[in-house]
Amino acid sequence: MRILVTGGSGFIGTNYIEFLVKDGQAEFINLDHKPPLNPEHKSFWQNCDLLDAHRLKKIIRDFSPTHVVHLAAKTGVDEKRLSAFAANIEGVENLLSAFKEVLSLERVIFTSSLLVCKMGYVPKHDTDYQPSTAYGFSKVKGEQIVRAQKDLPYAWTIIRPISVWGPWFNEPYKNFFKAIAQGWYFHIGSGHYKRSLGYVENIVYEIHQLLLAPMEKIDKKIFYIADEPPVDLHEFVNEVREGLGARKIRHVPLWIAKSSAKIGDFLKLLGWQGVPLTSFRLNNILTEYVFDLQPIMEIAAPLPYDLKTGIKRTIQWMREKKEL
C-alpha cells in the first residue's frame, strides 16, 4: 500500500501517521500546508495547500498512491462566510481532478463532519442534510461533490467522525480535561447526557480498517465513526477526574449555567476566544446524540482501546507535553 494522507499535520492526521509508523506495512506521505504537530513526522511531510491545484497534482502524480485518506479541512464553527471554507469545497474538487491522473489509485476515504446536520439531529438517511453553520454547509458541499462523480475507477468512502478526543487534541476536549484537572469543571444539571464519542487512536484504527475491508462493504458508503457503546457524560467526567486525581466534581443548576453562557457569549464578542462556557458550548453539553455505529463495528470491532485506557493514555500524553 502507498497511502497519501492529507491533513496529516492535524489532530486526527497526527495520530494516523503515528499509527502507520508503528504498523510499518505501508509507504506513506503527509500532504499538509502546515508542518507536523509531531516533529518526528517531519520526514513524511510534503508542504502543499489543497487550493494549489498545480502543486497538488504534481505531488500526487509523483507519489502514485494506491490509497488516500483525506483528512485535511478548514474548520471553525464561528466563521460565517462560506468562502472561508474553500479548502472543503474547491479543495475536494482539486483532489478529484488530481486523482484522474493516478492509475494506481484503488480507494479514497473522504472525511466529512457530524455537522452536516445541526447538533442533536440524527439524519434519517445519508443525504438528509441539515447544517446550521457555514462549516457544516461546506462539508455538505464536499460530500455532494464526491457523490456527483460518475464511473470512478476507484472505490470511495465518506466518514463522519464523532466528538473525537485524545493525544494531540485541541479545543474543546483539551480544555475539558484541563478544566477537570484545575477543579473548575461542573456537572450541569444532572450531568447525565448520553453521546457517541471517539477516542482518537480508535478512530484511526477504524479508518485503516476501512482501507483493508472488502470493497463491496465500503464503496460509495458513509460511516459514522466513534467508540461503541455510547458514553454517559457524567461517567466520562468522573473517569477523567479519577485519572487526574482531581477534586470531586460539583453540580451547577441549569439556570446558572445558562446565565453564565450568556455572559460567555458577551465576553466572546469582546474578543476573549478562550471563554470557558458559551451558549454554543452549553448546547453541545446538553444535547444527547447517539448514532448507529453498527456498520463500522462490523468492519473494525473489537476496537483496540477501552474508555479507561484511552483516558489514561490521554492524561499521560498531556503530562508529557506539559499541558497539565
- Which domains, ranges and CATH numbers included, belong to the chain? 2-161 (3.40.50.720), 163-197+227-291+304-324 (3.90.25.10)
Report pLDDT for 281: 79
Q: Which residues contact residue 259 at a Cβ distance below 8 angstroms, ignoring those fewer than 6 apart?
A: none
| Pairing status of strand 221-225 against strand 186-188 | unpaired
Report pLDDT for 121: 87
Cell of 289: 446524540
φ, ψ (nearest 5 deg) of residue 209:
-65, -30
Distance CA 130, CA 293 (A): 20
In this predicted model, which residue has the larger pLDDT, 188 or 127?
127
Report pLDDT for 273: 74
Q: Which residues contact residue 209 at a Cβ distance below 8 angstroms, ignoring those fewer than 6 apart?
A: 299, 300
Lowest mean pLDDT among 58-72, 151-165, 178-192, 238-252: 178-192
Per-residue CA distances from 43 to 17, 31, 40, 205 (Å): 11, 11, 7, 22
In this predicted model, which residue has the larger pLDDT, 78 or 4?
4
Q: What 3-state DSSP class applies to 68?
A: strand
Convert the pLDDT of each residue in 4-25 to its tens digit. Answer: 999 999 999 999 999 999 999 9
Convert the pLDDT of each residue in 231-285 to its tens digit. Answer: 999 999 999 999 999 999 998 898 898 998 999 888 888 888 777 788 887 887 7
Banded model confidence at residue 130, pLDDT cuts 50, 70, 90: very high
Q: Which helix (H) or strand (E) holds 160?
A: strand 155-161
Cis peptide before 229 (omega within 30 of 0): yes
Max Cα–Cα distance, the chain, nearest Å: 60
The mean pLDDT value for 195-208 works out to 97
Report pLDDT for 13: 98
Full-model pTM: 0.93
If you count them, how many residues does the chain have?
Answer: 324
Distance CA 265, CA 280 (A): 9
Q: Which of 2, 5, 18, 6 is nearest to 166 (CA)?
A: 18
Neighbouring CB atoms inside 10 A of 197's CB total 20
